[in-house]
Amino acid sequence: MMKHALIITTLSILLAAPTAVVSQSGGATEQAAVRALNFEQGDAQSLSKSRDDFTPQGWDDFMKTMQGFLDAKGAPTFSCKFVPEGASVRAKKDSGELVLKIPGTLTQTSGGSRTTYRLRVEVMETGDPPKIQHLEQVTCDKEHAANYCM
């Protein structure tokens, strides 16, 4: 159970840069992010199925977050399921970068242990068709969990 808490901590940031809402549509990018965060313990294919949704650097960065949580064959040592909850928001950070914020619930399972988090997934995309340049899970503190820290 502690191992799963560590991955969320590793994949999370506590504070996000200020943003302005641009639209409330996730489309293909939201579907790609959901694919990336839904995989099965012991099944390397279930993790790598979303590789084409990422830029090469984006995939490398995503896989760095999985270090320590893959077996010798590259299969995840836990199962992960992300379910979006409510509308996603496409926003513009003060830096000018566009980011898609997807609220939802993430459940990680390993053996008999199960941990569920309310969080948002932040996705930066690039290109046409869009590819994931960066995917990050932002956990909510207890005070903000009811609205998925949006």
What is the value of pTM for the model shown? 0.79
Model pLDDT, residue 61:
97
**Tokens found for residue 9:** 């901590």
Please say whether the structural domain 2-147 has been given the CATH code 3.30.200. no
Q: Which of 47, 15, 14, 19 has its CA nearest to residue 124?
A: 19
User: What rounded mean pLDDT belongs to the chain?
Assistant: 83
Q: Tokens at residue 20, please?
A: 């302005």
**What is the DSSP track for the chain?**
-HHHHHHHHHH--S----EEEEES--HHHHHHHHHHT-B-TT-HHHHHTTGGGB-HHHHHHHHHTTTTSB-TTS-BSSEEEEEE-S--EEEEETTS-EEEEEEEEEEEEETTEEEEEEEEEEEEEETTTTEEEEEEEEEPPGGGGGGTT-
Note the pLDDT tens digit of each residue in 119-133.
Answer: 999 999 988 888 999
Bigger pLDDT: 76 vs 92 = 76
pLDDT tens readout for residues 3-40: 544 344 333 333 343 445 544 556 889 999 999 999 99
